Amino acid sequence: MFSKKSLVRAAVATVSAVALAFSAACGSSNNANDSSTSTNADSSDITQQTVKPGKLTIATGDPAYEPWVMNDKPESGEGFEAALAYDVAEKLGFNKSDVVWTRTTFDSAIAPGAKDWDLNIQQFGITDERKQAVDFSSGYYKDTQSVVVKKDGKFASAKSLADLKNAVIGVMVGTQAYTIVKDKIKDDIQTFNDDASLAQALEAGQIDALVTNTVESVYMVQSEQVKDAKVLGRIAGSEDKDGLGIVLPKDSKLTAAVTKAVDELNADGTLKKLQDKWLAEYTTDLTELK
């Protein structure tokens, strides 16, 4: 049988063990906090918050068109959007060699869901509807919409938007062009997955006219994507008030930094220089269609 003294000693030992365990647990908690603090410190480094830490994955169209991307080679940094992408990457702390290019369709880029890229740049107009599915940077260029027709087509002599009421008009799905045509010309609109398909439809006589951003319209004609075509004119009141923005996955950790980068490039005159270098010849005076 245990004496009273033995029972007291046993009780003290038990209390000491509990206290030691509690002390160890507290120590473990502090270490966890230290680890968490370290992780949070790492999270402040934008270059480590990408889909491939240390690399910046940028998506564009397939193909990507001039003058946004020259020769369908964004990695060259040649073309308005390709050059802009590298300027933004530098602002974020990435070297040119850290940039990885990939390709997506236009509509999949602005659809809800997870993405396997960090930024997507292919003339995305900023809209409230799209903001429900993805994030946007500040606008980097405000384009207008123009009409392209065949020189020998039945609407080649149209002088106003009213003259196009009976035309079969095509646009790329999900673009500002669709909204503008619906608002200013007609409700019945043919849609296509990309500008290449759109151009082919006009070339084949499947549609009478196509509407796309003015820069692309001029390029289509100059490059003969559509043979014997002409830019009928720029649609009055079609300037995109919010402009084109870089798309990011919804709630991306990079959104604020990318927006800041675009704002700084605008403030220091870089955007204007890029526009003058790459877009000037595509934005000359055109007939205004009212």
- In this structure, the number of other CB atoms found within 10 A of the CB of residue 116 comes to 11
Dihedral of CA 108/181/222/206: which sign? positive
pLDDT (tens digit, 9 = 90+) per residue, 4-18?
333 333 333 333 333
pTM strictly above 0.85: no
The total number of structural domains that make up the chain: 2
Same domain, 59 and 120: yes
Q: Along the 290 residues of the chain, how does pLDDT read in single tens digits?
A: 433 333 333 333 333 333 333 333 333 333 333 333 334 435 679 999 999 999 999 999 999 989 999 999 999 999 999 999 999 999 999 999 999 999 999 999 999 999 999 999 999 999 999 999 999 999 999 989 999 999 999 999 999 999 999 999 999 998 889 999 999 999 999 999 888 899 999 999 999 999 999 999 999 999 999 999 999 999 999 998 899 999 999 999 999 999 999 999 999 999 999 999 999 888 767 899 99
Same domain, 104 and 229: no
For 286, which DSSP code?
A: -
Place of tokens 């009212």: 290
Same domain, 118 and 248: yes
Range of the domain at 190: 145-235
CATH number of the domain that 60 lies in?
A: 3.40.190.10
Q: Classify 21 as helix, strand or coil.
A: helix
- In this structure, the number of other CB atoms found within 10 A of the CB of residue 250 comes to 15
The answer to whether residue 261 sits within a structural domain is: yes
Half-sphere exposure of 164 (CA within 13 A, CB side): 30
Residue type at 32 in one-letter notation: A
For 126, which DSSP code?
A: P
Cα separation, 85 vs 101, in Å, equals 10
Cα separation, 163 vs 5, in Å, equals 109
How far CA 209 is from CA of 17, 58, 152, 160, in Å, comes to 85, 32, 12, 13
Helix (H) or strand (E) holding 138: strand 134-141
Same domain, 102 and 228: no
- Rounded to the nearest 10 degrees, the angle between the axes of helix 80-92 and helix 255-267 is 110
Phi-psi region at 269: left, alpha or beta (left = phi > 0; alpha = psi -120 to 50)? left
Same domain, 138 and 247: yes
